Chain A
Amino acid sequence: MNSQPVTEAELHAYVDGKLPAARCADVDAYLAQRPDEQERLRAYSAQNVELRALFDPVLDETVPGRLNVPKNSRWQWQRQRLVAGFAIALVSGSAGWLLHGPGDGAPQFAQDDAIRARPVLYASGLAHQAAIAHVVYSPEVRRPVEIGADQEEQLVAWLSKRLGSTIRPPRLGKLGYELIGGRLLPGAQGAVAQFMYHDASGQRLTLYVSTDQSHNKDTGFRFAQEGPVNVFYWIDGKFGYALSAGITKGELARVASAVYEQLENPS
C-alpha cells in the first residue's frame, strides 16, 4: 500500500457510505490488518441501523392534528388560545367579565397583532397566572385589594416580608393610573404580590410580581393575550413581572415601559 494514511474522518465516511469508491479499497486494506478497528466500525454501522429501527416507526404514525400546517396565520395562536380560553372561561363564571367593555358578548380572542407576538412557552406560565389573577380580582368591587393605598407603607412592609425582597409598587400617576392597593397570592412556588391600579374611568390594571423566576433566564418584554386580557411580562433575575389589563396593547406597552423604568431606576 502506498496511499495516504486512513484518517478517522474517512473511517466515519466509510461507515456512512460517504467515502468515494476509490478510497474504499484503501480502507478495506487498512481494516483487513486491524480486527479491532473492524469491530469498531461494525459497531458504528450497527448504531446507524439500530437508530433507524428505533425511530423509523415514527414516520408511519398519524401526524397529530396540532402539527398540521396552518391554512392561515391565525393557527399560530390556536394552541394557546385553547388553554387560555379554558382557564379564563373557568374563572369568568364568577368574575363576570366586568373588565370587558359594554356590548361585548363572547370573549374576543386574538387580534391580529397579538397573533404574531406569541409568547415563548417557558416564561409564559407567568403571564398566564397573572392574567388569571387579574380576571379574578380586578372585577372585585368591595374588596379588590387586601391592603389599600392609604396604608402603602404597611402594604410594602408586609409584601416585602412575605416575598423575601423589597417590593414597592411603581407610581403610575403620570400615566393616569392610581394605586388602589395590593394583595398576596399563591404562586407556583411561593408567595406572589399583586398591585392594582385604576384610572379615572375605573379601568383596572394589575402588576403581578413573582420572586421565583430564577430558573428562567432574563427576558425582554414579552406580550401575551389571554382572552380579553393583554399582558406584558418580563423576567429580571429572580423577579418576574406581569402587567395585565383589558386595554390596548399600545396603551399597556406605555405603562409597562414606565413600570420597567421605575423598577430599574428606583428613585
Chain B
Amino acid sequence: MREPRDQLLACIPRLRRYARALVGERAGADDLVQDTVERGWARLASWRGGSDMRAWLFSIMHNVHIDQVRRPLVPTESLSEATAMPTAPGSPSTGLELRDMETALRQLPDEQREILLLLALEEMSYDEVAHTLGVPVGTVMSRLSRAREKLRANMEGRPYAAALKVVK
C-alpha cells in the first residue's frame, strides 16, 4: 500500500481533468482542484485507508464545487430543464465537433454534467457515481438519461424536448 500522500498526489491529474470538464476554464478548474486537495489533505485522517481514495477525493470535490456554486463571486443563474438554451450548430469537422461538444456540455445543468463526466472520464460504476455525489442510483440513472439526450439534442442543433422515458 502506497503512502496516503502519494496516493493523493497520484489523483491530481484526474481531478484536474474532471474539474476542467466540469468548470470549463483552466484557472477556475485549478482553483477547484486546489481547494479539493487542501480539504482532502486536512481531512486525510478521516479517510479510511484501504478504501478508494479516488472516490473519496471526487466526493470532496463535489462538495467543494457545490459550496462554490452556492456562494458565487457574481450572481449566477442556475440552469434547469426549463431554461431556454442557444443551440450549437452541428459540424462535420472533427475539430469543430469537439468544440461543439464543449459548448453543448456547458449547457447541461451541473448535476447532469457531473454524472456524465464521472462515467465518461472516470469510468466509475453507477454505484460509485451515486456514492460520490450522495444521491440514489435511480437519480443517477434518470439524470444520466436526461443529460445524454440533451447533449445529443444540443449537438444536433435541435431544441431538447424532455422525452419522457421510463427509467427502471
Given contacts A18-B125, A69-B9, whether A8 and B42 have CB atoms under 8 Å apart is: no
Q: Would A44 and B73 count as touching, CB distance under 8 A?
A: no
Q: Would B17 and A67 count as touching, CB distance under 8 A?
A: no
Count B-side interface residues using an 8 Å CB cutoff: 53
Interface string of A207-251 (1 = CB under 8 A from B): 000000001110000000000000000000000000000000000
A102: interface (CB < 8 Å) = no
A54 CB contact (under 8 Å) in B38, B72, B102, B151: B102
B119 CB contact (under 8 Å) in A48, A68, A79, A215: A48
A175: interface (CB < 8 Å) = no
Q: Would B71 and A47 count as touching, CB distance under 8 A?
A: no
In the complex, chain B residues whose CB is within 8 Å of the CB of A55: 17-18, 20-21, 121
Chain A interface category by residue count: 35 or more
Main secondary structure of the interface of B (DSSP, over half): helix
Give min CB distance, A58 to chain B, whole Å: 4
Number of A-B contacts (CB under 8 A): 122
B111: interface (CB < 8 Å) = no
Interface string of A11-26 (1 = CB under 8 A from B): 0110110100000000
Q: Would A40 and B152 count as touching, CB distance under 8 A?
A: yes
Interface residues of B in 18-45 (CB under 8 A from A): 18, 20-21, 30-31, 33-35, 37-38, 41-42
- B contact set with A: CB distance below 8 Å: 5, 8-9, 12-14, 16-18, 20-21, 30-31, 33-35, 37-38, 41-42, 67-68, 70-75, 97-98, 101-102, 105, 116-117, 119-121, 123, 125-126, 141, 144-145, 148-149, 151-152, 155, 165-168
6 residue pairs of the A-B complex, CB under 8 angstroms, read: A52-B121, A67-B30, A73-B41, A76-B42, A121-B68, A215-B74
